[in-house]
Amino acid sequence: MSPVAENKWVKVDQKGAGPGPRSSHAIAVVGNKVYCFGGELKPTIPIDNDLYVFDLETQEWSLAPATGDAPFPCFGVSMVTIGSTIYVYGGRDASRKYNGLYAYETLTNKWESLSPVEEGLPGRSYHSMAADDRKVYVFGGVTAKGRVNTLHAFDVVDRRWVEYPAAGEACKGRGAPGLAVVQGKMWVLFGFDGTELDDIHCFDLARGEWTAVETAGEVPSARSVFPAVSFGKYIVIYGGEEDPHELMHMGAGKFCGEVYKLDTETLVWEKLLDGTEEDKPSPRGWCAFAVAVINGKEGLLVHGGNSPTNERLDDFVFLGFSS
């Protein structure tokens, strides 16, 4: 892989037997390892429940020697990292059976079921997750009863769920919004409620208050199923579905391939110039993403997703952040 430049996409070479083409899956990063779980190759048919591991130094895939109680094969799943532990929540199978909350300890390569759906948070798919140093946050998603706008957190120390005040009518129940924690505030960006949404909401974790946020600058269009990550005071988003297909999840809608950055202090968006058209990855949505460090540079790592042709992708691309 070539040296990482700021605000420019680079392709990450892959060796070994990896996850292959898929969408609606998730990745998480622990140190120099990327873990990949879940997903679909054909709509609504989960592929497997293997845990794939990618070494960012050797650029080689392998299967994790996982033991313990693992989640079943699913799609529409999310996962985050706290320390050396990966937390996987939600996702469903073809019969709309949902996974609960699981932990995978990378030091021991062992899965553990932390909160079954029968005992904890109601199951869902196409929700969004974020984490700080103690809590795993879950917002929105599609449950058996429809799309929700609730915010919960699982305290990994106390091992219990915390429910926050409801977002209210201004923030509709939605699937696949962007979610990021920035300086003690939870940001909910866009999403899908039957149509693509263009609103932004912010929850102050200390005050317990929701605020509808108006932004300026080069404001992105309404979208869902897109990567959203925090970097200092910024939120960076990429791609996503701007218009759904008439067959909804069974088809590929109109996808975006641009990168935007929101300054959460000035509330101004900036569209990033991320290289020439030849360098940029193809437009996509439903992809897996995480923040990673490659060659000493922090940035957005994206794997796979769905393409405008409805063919699932299997590439690995990385965008280094500028400070």
Among residues 22, 92, 124, 174, which one is catalytic? 92
Active-site residue (options: 22, 124, 147, 174): 147
Q: Which has the closest alpha carbon to 237: 211, 192, 274, 210? A: 274
pLDDT at 276 over 90: no
Active site residue 147: yes
Q: What was the pLDDT predicted at 244?
A: 79
What mean pLDDT do residues 274-287 have? 83
Q: What residues contact residue 46 under an 8 Å CB cut-off, 6+ apart?
A: 38, 39, 40, 73, 74, 75, 91, 93, 94
> Residue 4 above 90 pLDDT?
no
Q: Is the pLDDT of residue 304 over 70?
A: yes
Residue 273 — very low, low, confident or very high, per pLDDT cuts 50/70/90?
A: confident
**CATH architecture of structural domain 9-320:** 6 Propeller (2.120)
Confidence band, pLDDT 50/70/90 cuts, at residue 248: low
* pLDDT-based confidence at residue 274 (cuts at 50, 70, 90): low
pTM of the model: 0.95
Average pLDDT over residues 147-152: 97
**Burial category of 185 from C-beta neighbours within 10 Å (exposed 0-12, middle 13-18, buried 19 and up):** middle
If you average pLDDT over residues 286-293, what whole number do you get?
Answer: 98
Percent of the chain with pLDDT over 70: 94
Q: Return the pLDDT at 246.
A: 66
Query: Please, what is the average pLDDT of the chain?
Result: 94
**pLDDT value at residue 110:** 98
Q: Cα–Cα distance between 222 and 173 in angstroms, integer?
A: 15
Over the stretch 204-226, which tens digit does the pLDDT of each residue have?
Answer: 999 999 999 999 999 999 999 99
The pLDDT assigned to 27 comes to 98
pLDDT at 322: 81
Q: Among this protein's residues, is 92 annotated catalytic?
A: yes
Look at 84 and 322; give whichever has higher pLDDT.
84
The per-residue pLDDT for 275 is: 64
| 48 vs 42: CA distance, rounded Å | 12
pLDDT reported for residue 8: 87
Q: What's the pLDDT score for residue 253?
A: 79
User: What residues does each domain of the chain span?
Assistant: 9-320
* Sheet with strand 196-204: strands edge to edge: 178-182, 185-192, 196-204, 209-213
Whether residue 251 has pLDDT greater than 70: no
